[in-house]
A and B are shown apart, each in its own frame.
Chain A
Amino acid sequence: MNKKPGDQVVNLEIMFDSIAESFIDISDEGIFSAIKEEGRDVTVASARVRDLFAKADKKFRQKSLEEARALHKQHVSSLHSRPLVIQGSAADKRKWLEFALLQKPEMGRALTLQHREFSSVTDEEVDSYLRQLIELGVINLQELKTDTDD
């Protein structure tokens, strides 16, 4: 029976596969001889292979770093897009803001210039000022709470 033309392609593929496997089973002396017979230096040739591992490792480190950066960026952006909710009564919030403004008199002056009296600032405005100052990193709510509890 005549072989189909495609059979020869398969034969060649099987042959190359078998040769590949033979190089896994070959003795250490056998592989060194093969490399030398190709006119290559064993030390240089093996260093090239080790370098392939190192290159892949470097690529992996860079990929991991990029993924971590992207995750951090995503986290930061989600923090910014999420409205900050300050837990506490209106009286507490007013107390915290008043205390913060005492600590930062320049901000207090700006606020009283706008409203003349701190007492005329509404509860909503107190909440809004507090949120802005926290988001800007000017004040730390936890520290404020601790300080005003004393």
Chain B
Amino acid sequence: MGKKIGGKVKPAPEAPATVEEIRGAYVALTPAELLKLEKYSMWKTRGLERMGGPEFSADSLFGEAMMRTLDGSKNWYKSKVSFFVFFHGAMKNIAGHWHTHLKSRNASFEAQNKRLNYRDGEPDPMDVLPAGGRSAEDVLIDAEDAAYASDFIAQIKTKFSDDQLALDVLDGWSAGMTPKEIQDILGIQRRDFETVQRRLTRAIDETRDRGGVNE
């Protein structure tokens, strides 16, 4: 029952979906929605798994988002958004936290490594870093990431050097633009954009599967 304020009845706040409602909602997701969420989780965790290990995989993101939805730490309000939209938001939020966590963890290890290197005559950081932490070798891998990213982008661009539309879409993505913004700027239809999207993502996948760079 809502409260009466100033002569108007203010509706009672909506209760979050129950566990049973959440169960009903995930079972009712369409094959297309399931596959879009899968693709989203795969691309969203690209780089995270490399930074943090298998616990930051796409499947882990899925599991974590679902667990948090069921245990009530993430609330879905049925009248506001569909379960598909809600779940996309939940995964986005968790991946964001993972990213921040991994970045700060890596920064802290790098700072520790620098301090150890600064003091002359101190033991090698490789021997000093705690077993549970990341080794100096891991920190070096981080430093290599910059070169990896640079080579990766260059390799994709070379692959599409004769396809200006693909290069433009790639630039749009690198600038953080939405599909709609890219379509509007390039003056292309959704169908054409999606065709390029599939071509590009397949090429990126293949590049990654073959080991990424320097082949």
Residues of A within 8 A of B (CB): 5-6, 8-9, 11-28, 30-35, 37-38, 42-43, 45-46, 48-50, 52-53, 55-57, 59-60, 63
Contacts and interface: CB of A to CB of B under 8 A. Distances in A.
Closest 3 CB pairs of A and B: A5-B146, A56-B66, A20-B43
Chain A interface, >50% SS class: helix
A40 to B, nearest CB: 9
A49 B205 CA distance: 19
B46 interface: yes
A12 B23 contact: no
B31 A8 contact: no
Contacts of A23: 36, 39-40, 43
Interface size class of B (residues with CB under 8 A): 35 or more
Contacts of B179: 21-22, 25-26
Contacts of A21: 40, 178-179
B128 interface: no
Given A23-B43, A31-B35, A9 B62 contact: no
Contacts of B29: 50, 53
A57 B70 contact: yes
Given A18-B176, A20-B39, A52-B63, 9 more contacts: A12-B47, A14-B173, A20-B44, A22-B178, A27-B190, A27-B191, A31-B36, A48-B38, A49-B62
